[in-house]
Amino acid sequence: MPSLVVIGAQWGDEGKGKIVDYLAPKAEWVVRFQGGNNAGHTIVAGGVTTKLNLIPSGVLRPDTRCLIAAGVVIDPEVFAAETAKLREAGLDLSPRRLVVDRDAHLVLEYHRLIDAAREEARGANRIGTTGRGIGPAYEDRANRSGVRVAELEALGQLRPRLEELVAERNVYLQAVLRSEFSVDFENVWRAVCKAAELLLPHIGNGSLILDRALRRGERVLFEGAQGSLLDQVHGTFPYVTSSHTISGGVATGCGIGPKHMGHVLGIAKAYSTRVGLGPFPTELHDQLGHRIREAGVEYGTVTGRPRRCGWFDAVGMRRAIRLNGIDSLALTKLDVLSGLSSIKVCTSYRLDGNVLEDVPSLSQDLERVEAEYLELPGWSSDLKDVRSWGQLPVELKAYLEKLSEILECPISIISVGADRQATFVAESASEILAFIR
Ligand code: GDP
C-alpha cells in the first residue's frame, strides 16, 4: 500500500511533525485531514527550527506536494502569515505545491471571538481550548452555516448570507455570552475578500487528486494533528478537540475510501503529556514531572502553555491502538528519560477496587482511577548519537521490548532527539522502509 497514516496516539504533541518530515522525502503528497491552526508541529532540520500550524509537515521536502484537505478548518489570516514566513525562508509554496480543498471551511473573526467568550463564560468548567476559533468553525460546519473555500469563488452570493450570519453571531456574543466584543461586518468582509485572493489560486478537489494519486501508486502520507485521546467522539470527552483525530478521520476528512489507507503509524512519547485541562491518571505533580517538562521542553507550540507531564500510560495507548488500527508505533523523546534510575509504565487502572478493561467514559471516573505501574530499570547514557537499534543501551532495549509486549504492537521507529537525523527505523518495519527508500 503506498499510503501511510501518521496519528498522534496520546493527547497530542507526540512529535508527529518531526516524524512526518522524516518520512516525507519520497512521498508525493503530505495531507492534513483535520483540525486547524490549533495544531503546532515543530521540525528541526540541520539546526534550523520550523514551526507549522496549518501547512502540512511535508513542506520542507522539496519534491513533496502538500494538501490541506476538506476536513481541515482554515483561518485565512494564519494561512497568509504562515505561507509568507515559509516563503521568506525560501520554500516553494506555489499553487502546484500547496493545494487547498474547495470543501474546507473557513475560520473567521466571529469564531475566534465566540471561542474566547465561551471559555470565559465557562469559568472553572472551561475546556482549555487554544482559543483559535476552531471549535466554533466546526460547529458552523455541523449546523450548515459555515463558509467554505469554494464560496470564495462566488463572493456576490456569499455577501448577503454572511451579513445575516454576522448579525446573528453578534446577538449570540452579546446577549448569550455577555461578551464586550462584537464583530464589524465590513471587517469580516475585507478579510473574506483577502482570503479569496490568497486561497483561490490554491483551490483544488482533494478527493479527486488523492484518488488519482493513490490509483497511480503514488506515495501519500496522511498527517494527523492533536492526538487520539482528544478525538471528538472517542477521546476523553468533554476535554477533547472538535475534529476526528483518529485514522477514520482520514477517509471522512479527505473524501477517499478507507481501502486507500495503508500502514497506520501511531506516534507516542516515551512518557505522557497533556496541555489544557482534563483527567490525566499518570500525571506527575512532583519534581520528576518538572524535570521531564524541562528536559523535554514541554511547552505548547501554539499557546506556550506548560504541558502537564506524567508516566507512559499503556491503558490509554491500548485504546489508541484499537481506535486507529495502529500497525506500529514510533516512540519519541526517549532521550528525555535518560538518567532516570527507573522508568514506570502504567499497565492498568483500578476504580473502586476493580481493574478496568478500558479508559472509562465519564471524566469524573477517569479523574478517580488509580494507575498501577510496572517499574523498569532506566538507562544513563546519552542517546544523542544513537542511530541504530544495536547502539541502544541494554536497559532501553529491554524497556522497548517490554512496552511492545504489553501493548501487543511493534515499535517501528525510534526518536532520540529533536533533529531529523536523530531517528531510525527498525529493520523489521518493512512497510515503513519501503515508503522511505
Ligand atoms: P506534534 O504536534 O506532535 O508535531 O509535536 P510538537 O511539535 O508540538 O512537540 C514535539 C516537540 O518535541 C517538538 O519541539 C519536537 O522538535 C520535539 N521532539 C520530537 N521528537 C523528539 C525527540 O525524540 N527528542 C526530543 N528531545 N525532542 C523531540
Length of the chain: 437
Residue 303 has pLDDT above 80, yes or no: no
Q: Is residue 170 over pLDDT 80?
A: yes
pLDDT tens string 43-73: 998 889 999 999 999 999 999 999 999 999 9
Inform me whether the pLDDT recorded for 105 exceeds 90: yes
Query: Which cell goes with 81?
Result: 502569515
Give me 220's grid cell: 501519500
* Lowest pLDDT segment from 13-22, 186-195, 297-306: 297-306
Q: Measured from the CB, is residue 328 less than 6 Å from ligand 1?
A: no
Q: Return the pLDDT at 46.
A: 86
Q: Which runs of E-coded beta strand occur in 257-341?
A: 263-269, 272-274, 308-310, 312-313, 328-332
Q: Is the CB of 42 under 6 A from ligand 1?
A: yes
Mutate to test the pocket of ligand 1, among 272, 333, 423 (most ligand atoms within 8 A of CB): 333
Contact by Cβ (8 Å): 273, 307 = yes
Strand pairing category for 29-32 and 220-223: parallel
CB 335 near ligand 1, within 6 Å: yes
What amino acid occupies position 72?
A: V
pTM: 0.96
Enter the C-alpha cell of residue 137: 468553525
Q: Which atom of ligand 1 is nearest to the CA of 332?
A: 23
Q: Whose CA is nearest to atom 26 of ligand 1?
A: 417
| Grid cell locating 196 | 479569496
Whether residue 276 has pLDDT greater than 90: no
Query: Which residues neighbour 88 within 8 Å (Cβ) at sequence distance 6 or greater?
Result: none
Q: What are residue 195's phi and psi, to 5 degrees?
A: -60, -40
189-199 pLDDT per residue, tens = 999 999 999 99
Q: Does the beta carbon of 206 sit less than 6 angstroms from any atom of ligand 1?
A: no
The yes-or-no answer on residue 41 being catalytic is yes
> Region 179-192: what's the mean pLDDT?
95
C-alpha cell at 299: 511547552
pLDDT value, residue 1 = 55
Percent of the chain with pLDDT over 70: 100
Counting atoms of ligand 1 from 1, which one is nearest the CA of 415?
Answer: 23
Please work out whether the CB of residue 17 comes within 6 Å of at least one atom of ligand 1: yes
pLDDT score of 126: 79
The arithmetic mean of pLDDT across residues 354-375, rounded, is 97
Element (H, E) at 134: helix 134-142
Q: Cα of 132 to ligand 1 centre, how many Å? A: 22
Instruction: Report the chain's C-alpha Rg in angstroms.
Output: 22
pLDDT mean over 269-298? 96
How far is 358 from 348, CA to CA, in rounded Å? Answer: 9
**Dist. CA 187 → ligand 1 center (Å):** 37
**pLDDT value at residue 58:** 93
H helix intervals, 172-247: 185-199, 206-215
- The answer, yes or no, to whether any atom of ligand 1 lies below 6 A from the CB of 336, is yes
Centre of ligand 1 to C-alpha 435, Å, is: 22
Q: Which residues contact 434 (CB under 8 A, 6 or more apart)?
A: none
**CB of residue 418 inside a 6 A radius of ligand 1:** yes
The residue whose CA has the least distance to atom 16 of ligand 1 is 418
CA–centroid distance, residue 415 to ligand 1 (Å): 9
To 5 degrees, how large is the angle CA 316–CA 322–CA 325?
A: 130
List the grid coordinates of 405.
509486549
- If phi over 0 gives left and psi between -120 and 50 gives alpha, with beta otherwise, what is residue 160? alpha
pLDDT (tens digit, 9 = 90+) per residue, 365-390? 999 999 999 999 999 999 989 999 99
Q: 19 alpha carbon to ligand 1 midpoint, in Å? A: 9
Residue nearest atom 28 of ligand 1, based on CA coordinates: 418
pLDDT bin (cut points 50, 70, 90) of residue 122 is: confident
C-alpha to C-alpha distance for 49 and 44, rounded to whole angstroms: 4
Can you tell me the distance from the alpha carbon of 349 to that of 337, in angstroms, rounded to the nearest whole number? 23
Residue pLDDT, tens place only, 153-167: 999 999 999 999 999
44 lines ligand 1 (CB under 6 A): yes
| Cβ of 333 less than 6 Å from ligand 1 | yes
Inform me whether the pLDDT recorded for 129 exceeds 90: no
Compute the mean pLDDT over every residue in the chain, rounded to the nearest whole number: 95
Q: What is the pLDDT of residue 214?
A: 96
H or E element, residue 16:
helix 16-23
As a whole number, mean pLDDT of residues 338-359 equals 96
More confident residue, 407 or 277: 407
* Minimum mean pLDDT range among 24-38, 120-134, 212-226, 410-424: 120-134
What does the block give as the cell for 255?
A: 473524501
pLDDT at residue 59, rounded to an integer: 94
Residue 192: φ, ψ to 5°:
-70, -40
